Amino acid sequence: MGKTPQAADRGRRELWIGGRHVAPASGEYFEDLNPQDDAVLARIAAATPQDVDTAVQAAHGAFGTYGRTLAAEREAWLSRAAGIMEGRRQALVELLIDEVGSPVGKAQFEVQYAIGCLRAAAGAARRVTGQTLPSDTPGRFSMSVRQPLGVVAAISPFNVPLLKNAKLTATPLATGNTVVLLTSEEAPLIAGDYRNAQARKANGVRPCRAPPGLPGSAGRRCSTCRCC
């Protein structure tokens, strides 16, 4: 299989934290390679535990506002993000082939699944319901209300990166949580494209609420962090 037109070097990519591109604390970058011929696809910021802490702090800060958004706002935002991905369907298929060596059929399935996941999560935003319970006090009733938890940590693998990025982040975002996403070092460009779908939505939630991409040496910190 020959290289797709998207297999050119995409230059240097920074971390995405708090709605903006951020250089890694270490100043180090690693090469993201095409598995077919080891051609350099991009140079990716190598995140550190310090970067994870910065991302968590940014996500906590965004949660103060995002956790109070209306279900209708989150529904509309996720629907628009799904529409953006729909419009980039072929580009995403080609990127999955270039970056992780996906077969064409698998790449097509993964893109469709991710789009469907966002649309399903959009509908879930309106289905976060509580309960009314009988009370032992005459004339009164008890009520439970479900509320967002806060910051959610998500770790995505290399073999189905777009599918897992969507599956691990869409529902937490739909229910009012913010997300710190640790992407696979083998698929950081896929995570960046997924984040772009969140950040480019028209009239939607501010980009700082999109999942930050944190590839690199931050895995141990993200997997042991107890601040999320």
Average pLDDT over residues 73-96: 95
User: With 50 as the cut, is the pLDDT of residue 74 above it?
Assistant: yes
Q: Do residues 173 and 74 lie in contact, with contact meaning Cβ atoms separated by under 8 Å?
A: yes
Rg (CA), the chain: 19
Q: Where are the beta strands (DSSP E) in the chain?
A: 12-13, 15-17, 20-22, 29-33, 40-45, 131-134, 141-144, 151-155, 178-182
Residue 223: per-residue pLDDT? 44
Residue 201: per-residue pLDDT? 52
3-state secondary structure of 222: helix
Helices vs. strands in the chain: H and E counts, helices first = 7, 9
pLDDT in tens, 26-36: 999 999 999 99
User: With 60 as the cut, is the pLDDT of residue 155 above it?
Assistant: yes
In a domain, 83, yes or no: yes
In a domain, 32, yes or no: yes
Two tokens, residue 213 = 């991409």
In a domain, 196, yes or no: yes
Q: End-to-end CA distance of the chain: give it in Å, rounded.
A: 42
In a domain, 1, yes or no: no
Give the total residue count for the chain: 228
User: With 60 as the cut, is the pLDDT of residue 218 above it?
Assistant: no
- How far apart (Å, rounded) are the C-alpha atoms in residues 32 and 150? 32
Question: Which residue, chain included where needed, has tokens 């599956």?
Answer: 167
User: With 60 as the cut, is the pLDDT of residue 212 above it?
Assistant: no
pLDDT in tens, 117-147: 999 999 999 998 888 888 888 888 898 888 9
CA dihedral defined by 61, 156, 119, 143, rounded to 10 degrees?
A: -50
In terms of residue numbers, what domain contains 57?
12-128+143-224
Q: Which residue has the higher pLDDT, 101 or 195?
A: 101
Amino acid at 165: N
In a domain, 56, yes or no: yes
Q: For 49-115, give the DSSP string.
A: HHHHHHHHHHHHHHHHHHTTS-HHHHHHHHHHHHHHHHHTHHHHHHHHHHHH---HHHHHHHHHHHH
In a domain, 162, yes or no: yes
pTM for the full predicted model: 0.81
Question: Which residue, chain included where needed, has tokens 């250089």?
Answer: 23
Residue 133: per-residue pLDDT? 87
- How far apart (Å, rounded) are the C-alpha atoms in residues 218 and 93? 27
Residue 106: per-residue pLDDT? 97
Average pLDDT over residues 162-178: 95
Q: Residue 158's domain is classified under what CATH number? A: 3.40.605.10
Residue 113: per-residue pLDDT? 97
In a domain, 124, yes or no: yes
pLDDT in tens, 98-124: 999 999 999 999 999 999 999 999 999
Q: Do residues 166 and 174 lie in contact, with contact meaning Cβ atoms separated by under 8 Å?
A: no
Residue 200: per-residue pLDDT? 59
How many Cβ atoms from other residues are within 10 Å of residue 133's Cβ? 9
In a domain, 136, yes or no: no
Q: Looking at the 3D structure of the chain, how many domains does it have?
A: 1
Average pLDDT value over all residues in the chain: 84
User: With 50 as the cut, is the pLDDT of residue 189 above it?
Assistant: yes
Residue 37: per-residue pLDDT? 93
